[in-house]
Amino acid sequence: MPLHSSHLCQPLDVSVFSPLKQYMSQKLNETLKYGVPNIKKYEWADAYQRAQPKAMSANNITSAFRAVGLVPFNCCKVLIRMPTFQEKDCESDSELESNKDITTEPQQEYPFTNISATPLRIDPTILKDANAALLSNIQAGIFDTPTHAFIPKLTMFAEFSSTQVVIANYEN
């Protein structure tokens, strides 16, 4: 992620909390126009209760994640809003894969990216390397995104293998 870009990746700020603030301001302004000098807690809570269903709708939330390029993932939606944006910043995935070796990220996360999401296509040597990297990350206290993404895959592989053993035992 480019420096100073995290605020561009916060979908709830963009499409949920901003409309919530606007709806609440409208409700509170209706109260203030009658000469009420201060907003009390119950007036604020009433304004929130009326604004919340409008702002926090399922449609707003899903469109928020789509708007910032998180679901489906599209890093260009963030990059084009950066002041230093250049067309070359939106390379294709294949170009990004070929440039992985020039990044400064630690090598231990790469075994995680080689793991297939399908248990039938798993290569035992790659799984062994990924498990070794996982154990070293746990011992080092590194719980980054690739590590977190690998743990559910590992669980799925264990469940798949366990199911295969149960079926084989049943057939025998």
Question: With a cut of 70, which residues of the chain have pLDDT below it?
Answer: 1-5, 14, 81-114, 116-121, 145
In this prediction, residue 91 carries a pLDDT of 60
Query: In the 8-state DSSP scheme, what is residue 75?
Result: T
* Location of structure tokens 């469940």: 159
pTM: 0.43
69 and 110 in a single domain? The answer is: no
In this prediction, residue 121 carries a pLDDT of 67
- The radius of gyration of the chain from alpha carbons, rounded to an integer in Å, stands at 24
> Cβ(152)–Cβ(145) under 8 Å?
no
- Fill in the amino acid letter for 19: P
In this prediction, residue 19 carries a pLDDT of 86
- Domain-located, residue 91: no
- Enclosing domain of residue 130: 105-171
Domain count, the chain: 2
SS3 39: coil
67 and 112 in a single domain? The answer is: no
